[in-house]
Amino acid sequence: MIVASVSNQFFTTLAYNQLFIDISRRIGMDLGGSHFVGGEKTDDMVKQVKKLNSNGIGATIDCLGEFVKNEEDTKKYVDNCYKAIHAIRDEKLNAQISLKLFSVGIEVGQETAIRNMNDILQEAKKYDVFVTINMEEYKNCEGIISAFEALREKYDNLGIALQANLYRTETDVERLDRFSPAIRFVKGAYIESGDVDINNKSHVDENYKKLVKSHLLKGNYTQVATHDNDMIDFVKKLVNEYDIPKDQFEFQMLQGMREEKQRELAEDGWNMVVYVPFGKDWYTYFMKRLAERPANIGFTFMSMARR
């Protein structure tokens, strides 16, 4: 835990260091972020998604927005989401989009976030583009789920990510069951306090399996976001045992992580989707990924070494 805490503090400090942010924006992807980020510009992102599509792999385009202080900032972010949606339409990409409610203004105000999400979802609905709301720190969890409930009443092209490391998630899934929602299950990236975070790897793993199994057996669409072979094998066995259709779920991985495994799963006929970050805030996104868990640092260097 000491290592995790020191690592988290170090990379979080780097993520919000204004000097490094300015340098990253000036130099751009030449700093090496292109391994893990689809690009700052739409054209670069489209090239990355097309490369994935050519290998039978779909994409979820994460519209990055790490610095949102007011409504004007949220409008700029909405415009960036429009660019991603229109690129999917114009380039006929096998892709969906993902976003954080922080970026559309949930900390500016719940009404602002809902209004901006309505705009994005209406535009996405026109072109049959699916949208997933990412999960964030625990402090925003209730607000995110409440916003999802309000939006899901109107839009069926909307899913949500939930974290297996939180005690509350099982109850949250039950709460959302009335929508038969598409849920992306993740183990959980944020280090939270012990009263809300399971904070034990083996227990988190078991909870992850329990959540995925329950959601699949209810017939709901399930996004299995994992780089873990044990989790992947668990889902394969589950599918065979209960005769679950392959079009009821997808595996998801981050861009730049386990690329050989991504291609292997796609070649074997499994739905494989890669999470492709897109936008000028790529540097802060990358540093935050390293801050989240020490294991990500090792994953990062191993992935880079294989290239």
Assigned domain for 13 exists: no
Assigned domain for 250 exists: yes
The count of structural domains within the chain is 1
Assigned domain for 27 exists: no
CATH, residue 263: 3.20.20.220
- What tokens were used for 3? 């290592």
| pLDDT confidence tier of residue 287, bands split at 50, 70 and 90 | low
Q: pLDDT above 70 covers what percent of the chain?
A: 80
Distance (Å, whole) CA 58 – CA 172: 28
Do strands 249-254 and 183-186 pair parallel, antiparallel, or not at all (unpaired)?
unpaired
Distance (Å, whole) CA 109 – CA 250: 33
Assigned domain for 261 exists: yes
The answer to whether residue 276 scores a pLDDT higher than 70 is yes
Mean pLDDT score, 190-218: 91
Assigned domain for 4 exists: no
Question: pTM of the predicted model, to two decimals?
Answer: 0.86
| pLDDT confidence tier of residue 288, bands split at 50, 70 and 90 | low
- What tokens were used for 200? 């034990």
The SS3 assignment for 160 reads strand
| pLDDT confidence tier of residue 172, bands split at 50, 70 and 90 | very high
Assigned domain for 306 exists: no
Rounded mean pLDDT of the chain? Answer: 86
| pLDDT confidence tier of residue 244, bands split at 50, 70 and 90 | very high
Residue numbers of the domain that contains 190: 57-281
Instruction: Give the distance between the most distant pair of CA atoms in the chain.
Output: 54
Assigned domain for 91 exists: yes
Assigned domain for 8 exists: no
If we measure between CA atoms, which residue out of 179, 189, 190, 107 comes closest to residue 143? 107
Q: Which pLDDT belongs to residue 284?
A: 67
- What tokens were used for 120? 């994005």
